[in-house]
């Protein structure tokens, strides 16, 4: 029978531990997403109720303030139902009630990110871009905020200067496309002042290198400014 230390340091044990960790993390993420989806649905229903009752009975600001007080008294210690947030919930419903596609998508991202998009982005297509990007790229609230400030949507509309779509599988091409857009965004590279070309190149190459390495097997980063010879030409 193997000794305890032999088991702990064996490749099989390390693989087992890694597998269990991944499953736990995956389950926690799924659980968090499920809770988030239910919360967004709840907010949607509350927003719908408030908006409809205000129209039907001619209620104004006072009803929202009263609701906040009564909910705080009934659910002691429960956050998320202040007067300010109830107004956000109402506006959230009004913003997406006529766009079923976006109404479904907003359930996939946290409330904090939803509020950032709701308050900072007014165009429906632009909202869809940032919602999709938050889902696909896993943007935190701060990252999303910075991307909006950097006008990432407008950058994404510019003509693409790469051949990722032809050279990579579809899923990796999409990742490469997003990565390249981020590279063009100098704020994302931490550039906030004038910078020498060689320093800028170094930062861009580092970003590309990290991305290529994340693609896994089948891709290789050789070096920057590497000469390729194709049909006798360099």
What pLDDT, in 10s, does the model give residues 117-152? 999 999 999 999 999 999 999 899 999 999 999 999
131, 117 Cβ separation under 8 angstroms? yes
Q: Evaluate if residue 178 carries a pLDDT over 50.
A: no
Q: Evaluate if residue 205 carries a pLDDT over 70.
A: no
Indicate whether this model's pTM tops 0.75.
no
CA nearest to 51, candidates 105, 87, 104 = 87
- What is the four-CA torsion angle of 81, 142, 177, 168, rounded to 10 degrees? -80
Domains of the chain, by residue range, sit at 1-97, 104-158, 159-234
> What are the pLDDT digits (tens) for 67-114?
999 999 998 888 889 999 999 999 999 999 999 999 999 999 999 999
C-alpha dihedral sign at 111, 117, 119, 124: negative
Q: Identify the band that residue 192 occupies on the pLDDT scale cut at 50, 70 and 90.
A: very low
Residue whose pair of structure tokens reads 């091409």 in the numeric block: 173
């Amino acid at each position: 029978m193997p000794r305890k230390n032999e088991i702990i340091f064996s490749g099989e044990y390390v693989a087992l531990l890694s597998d269990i960790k991944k499953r736990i993390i995956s389950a926690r993420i799924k659980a968090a997403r499920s809770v988030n989806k239910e919360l967004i649905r709840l907010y949607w229903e509350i927003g719908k109720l408030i908006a409809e009752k205000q129209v039907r009975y001619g209620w104004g600001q006072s009803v929202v303030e009263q609701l906040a007080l009564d909910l705080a008294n009934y659910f002691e210690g429960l956050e998320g139902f202040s007067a300010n947030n109830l107004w956000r919930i109402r506006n959230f419903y009004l913003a997406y009630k006529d766009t079923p596609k976006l109404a479904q998508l907003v359930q996939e991202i946290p409330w904090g990110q939803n509020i950032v998009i709701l308050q900072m982005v007014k165009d429906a297509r632009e909202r869809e871009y940032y919602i999709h990007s938050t889902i696909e790229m896993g943007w935190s609230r701060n990252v999303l905020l910075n991307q909006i400030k950097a006008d990432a949507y407008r950058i994404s509309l510019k003509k693409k200067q790469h051949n990722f779509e032809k050279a990579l599988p579809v899923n990796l091409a999409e990742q490469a496309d997003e990565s390249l857009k981020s590279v063009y965004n100098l704020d994302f590279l931490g550039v906030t002042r004038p910078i020498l070309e060689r320093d800028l190149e170094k930062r861009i190459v580092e970003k590309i290198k990290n991305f290529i390495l994340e693609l896994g097997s089948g891709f290789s980063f050789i070096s920057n400014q590497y000469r390729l010879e194709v049909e006798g030409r360099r």
